[in-house]
Structure 1
Amino acid sequence: MIEFTSVVKDYKGVRALDEVSFTVEPGSVTGFLGPNGAGKTTALRILLGLSRPTSGTATIFGRPYRELEAPGWQVGALLDANAQHPGRTGREILTLGAMTLGLPRSRVDEVLELVGLTEREARRTFRGYSLGMRQRLGIAHALLARPRVLVFDEPANGLDPQGIHWLRGLLRELADAGCAVLLSSHLLAEVERIADRIVVIGRGRVLAQGTLDELGRGRDLERVFLELTAEADRRAA
């Protein structure tokens, strides 16, 4: 389980996160929804131990990421699909990840097939990958150890419509298998079609959270999203 409790993050006098609190339960997909610059990536970086909160806590299974035993086995994450060595092949990147985690090399073949990268694509260097291919490779890397918690920041960026459809199905399968999935996005339609719960963030504050039925669906949810983000902008002005 993921839990944010009153997380505050200040950067040189600017409050990037303001009392952020929400949970992600096992067996569910939680959509973390907000416009660019809302604070989503900052919250995820704190969750994954890449940044420290000014106050509050962000925990996984009740502990900060830095205190987890073998965190690579428990948490899979994709924050930046471009963060790989450009001269390595996709297969090399995954093989190094598998070796680091103590996994058999056969797992590399399994995740390549799972994300739909062919052997020919796997042998290409990373610099020659499209953004969609990089997203698929990053998702494959996150799934290597079959973790129970998954954290994805804008994973649909660069995917074509078929790829987005595939991603929705994959996230649903992972959640149905018991994973806690946190999906960050600025695209309402993407989140609405897959999430069990939605957390709306704007200007560093949680503006609303709940199930689709609680927040409203379709045009109702779009109206709520637009009104809440507009209200956050007015407060910050």
Structure 2
Amino acid sequence: MITVQNLTKRYGSLIAVDDITFTAPAGTVTGFLGPNGAGKSTTMRVAVGLTHATSGSVRVLGGDYTDLPNPAARVGVLLDASAQHAGRTGREVLTLGAMTLGVPRSRVDQVLEQVGLTQRESRKRVGTYSLGMRQRLGIGHALLGNPEVLILDEPANGLDPQGIHWMRSLLRVFADAGGTVLLSSHLLHEVQQVADRIVMIGNGRIVVDAAMEELLAEGTDLETLFLTSTMSTSREGIAA
């Protein structure tokens, strides 16, 4: 479970995240939806200890991420697929990750198969990978430790339709087995296809926080809400 409580993050006079509260329960895929610049990535960076909150908190598995024993083994994270070392092969990236986490090297081959990277592709340097291949490698790295939680920022970027279908299936299986998934995206259709819950953010504030079934039953017009939050964020960016 991930619990965000009254989280605020300021950068000088800019309020990137404005007193937001929501929960990503175990056994669900929570779609964290909003336009670029809405505060999604900032929230995720706070969750994994890369950015300090101005106020409020993010609890992962009941505590601070940085206080968890071997946190990367319990919480799989993908924030930026392009940050992988371009000079290493995909296999080397995963092998170093396995060594760091203390998991058997046999896990590398299991993960490569799970994310659909062939043995030949795994021996190529990451600098030659397409964005879609980097995303698969990044998701594989997040899965190395058999985590209980996945925090994925825009993981569908660069994936072709077959890759997006694969990713949805993987996340569905993970959540149905009791895992927690927090999946950020600026693409409404992508999130609607897999999410059990929708948390929509615009201009640093929560616009929607509800179960998908509830939203569908109420006939909530998510597209209009999403477009409204997009325009709000755009206006704020222009004003700034």
TM-score by length of 2: 0.94
* Letter paired with 2:97: G
> Aligned partner of 1:36: which letter?
N
Give the structure 1 partner of residue 38 of structure 2. Answer: 38
Amino acid of the residue matched to residue 21 of structure 2?
S
**Counterpart residue number, 1:194:** 194
How far the C-alpha of 1:228 sits from its partner, in A, is 4.2
Alpha-carbon offset, residue 235 of structure 1: 7.8
After TM superposition, the structure 1 = structure 2 runs for residues 169-188 of structure 1, keeping only pairs within 5 Å, are: 169-188=169-188
**After alignment, is 22-31 or 216-225 more displaced?**
216-225
The residue matched to 1:173 in structure 2 has which SS?
helix
Which deviates more, 109-118 or 95-104?
A: 95-104
| Rounded Cα–Cα distance in structure 1 between residues aligned with 2:147 and 2:108 | 15
* Secondary structure in 2 matching 1:82: helix
1:84 is displaced (CA, Å) by 1.4
The structural deviation recorded for 1:229 is 4.1
CA distance in 2, matches of 1:194, 1:203: 24
Q: Does 1:125 find its partner at 2:138?
A: no
RMSD of equivalent CA atoms: 1.7
Please list every run of 5 or more consecutive structure 2 residues that lacks an aligned counterpart in the other structure. Answer: none
CA–CA separation in structure 2 for the residues paired with 1:209 and 1:219: 12
Please tell me the residue identity of whatever aligns with 1:67: D
Q: Is the 8 A contact 1:215 1:224 kept in 2?
A: no
- Give the SS at the match of 1:150: strand
Q: Is 2:28–2:181's contact at 8 Å kept on the other side of the alignment? A: yes
Q: 1:206 aligned to 2:206?
A: yes
Paired residue for 2:149?
Answer: 149
Question: What amino acid is aligned across from residue 202 of structure 1 in structure 2?
Answer: G
CA distance in 1, matches of 2:186, 2:115: 23
When the two structures are aligned, how many residues end up with a matched partner? 237
Shift of the 232–126 alpha-carbon distance from structure 1 to 2, 3 Å rule, reads: closer
Output the CA distance in 1 between the equivalents of 2:232 and 2:96: 46
Distance across 2 between alignment mates of 1:105 and 1:221: 44
Residue identity matched to 1:227: T
Q: Distance in 2 between matches of 1:181 and 1:67?
A: 20
**Superposition misfits of 4+ residues, deviation over 3 angstroms:** 216-219, 227-237
Report percent identity of matched pairs.
Answer: 60
